[in-house]
Amino acid sequence: MSPVSVEYSSPEGNRTVAVLRLDDGKANAFNPATLDALARSLDEIDQSDAHALVIAGRTGFFSGGLDLKALPHLPTAEKREVLTRFGEVLLRVFMFRAPTVAAVTGHAIAGGALLALATDVRFGADLPARFGVTEIAIGLPVPSFGVLLAKAALAPPALVEIMLHARVLTLREAHARGAFLGLYPEAAVVDAAAAYAAELARLHGPAYAATKHLLWDAELERIRGGLADEVVRFIDLFEARFPMDPRGDAARG
């Protein structure tokens, strides 16, 4: 079963909203199969008549980020491919042609938090779940594409706390810092995100897409131009930080 599914709704009087759901039955970690499924789903939605996009997780988990159980076991070239693919998927969400809303249904850590930040607006479940970008805490810099997403979504005090200080917040704390537009009961958060997306779907699509490009194309050109070299440096640091021991396990030092 695919870890990604897509459904469409057209509330009475509103344009079509696509809801992309992540559910691998575990932490919704990003590995090659998940990233490929995400890319295919975004292709499908992009070619549909959807005028807004909701990205939701499963109950209790939005996403735990990159799969750190699988990633250390991959050859260096494949690690680079995974990180490049991850950046491309996040930037594709960030620059999606229509309004995007995250329904953060639970924990959103590291790359999972970055996926949430890639959307235009975030709603969270009112749960004791965690939200944070933890790369610096494990000795890795946040990639440039992640910095762009955070700068677009977070006000300066929260930006420093979440990105530089690598503080993991509860969803309530993140909401208090402006990372979320609202918190809802666990069973209602996806519906709340879809209802808000339906409102945004009324916006003029071509004008929306054009303005998004005016806002971010210069930054994107810089980031994409240096992405290949940055991925090499990041994976070199990752392999130094998480070397394989003789038993084939990733050392956690």
Instruction: List the strands of the sheet with 130-132, edge to edge.
Output: 60-63, 106-109, 130-132, 169-170
Beta bridge partners of 184: 125
Give the pLDDT confidence score for residue 252 in this predicted structure. Answer: 33
Of 42, 204, 33, residue with least CA distance to 115: 42
**Number of C-beta neighbours around residue 23 at 10 A:** 17
Q: How far apart are CA 58 and CA 25, in angstroms?
A: 8
Query: What average pLDDT score do residues 39-65 get?
Result: 97
Query: What average pLDDT score do residues 51-60 get?
Result: 97
Residue 25 has pLDDT above 80, yes or no: yes
Average pLDDT, the chain: 94
pLDDT band, residue 144 (cuts 50/70/90):
very high
**Number of C-beta neighbours around residue 199 at 10 A:** 14
Q: What is the β-pairing status of strands 60-63 and 106-109?
A: parallel
Structure tokens at 91: 């930037």
Residue 246 has pLDDT above 50, yes or no: no
Query: What average pLDDT score do residues 22-27 get?
Result: 96
Do 30 and 84 touch, CB atoms closer than 8 A? no
Give the pLDDT confidence score for residue 253 in this predicted structure. Answer: 29
Structure tokens at 188: 């209602």
pLDDT band, residue 129 (cuts 50/70/90):
very high
Give the pLDDT confidence score for residue 10 in this predicted structure. Answer: 87
Question: pTM for this one?
Answer: 0.95
Kindly report, residue by residue over 104-114, the tens digit of the pLDDT: 999 999 999 99
CATH 3.40.190.10 fits 4-200, yes or no: no
Q: Could you tell me the CA-to-CA distances from 67 to 72, 82, 110, 205, 212 in Å, in that order?
A: 9, 10, 11, 35, 30
Q: How far apart are CA 190 and CA 74, in angstroms?
A: 35
Query: What average pLDDT score do residues 5-16 get?
Result: 87
Instruction: List the strands of the sheet with 17-22, edge to edge.
Output: 4-9, 17-22, 52-56, 100-104, 121-125, 182-184
User: Which residue is it, tokens 């038993």?
Assistant: 247
Kindly report, residue by residue over 192-233, the tens digit of the pLDDT: 999 999 999 999 999 999 999 999 999 999 999 999 999 999
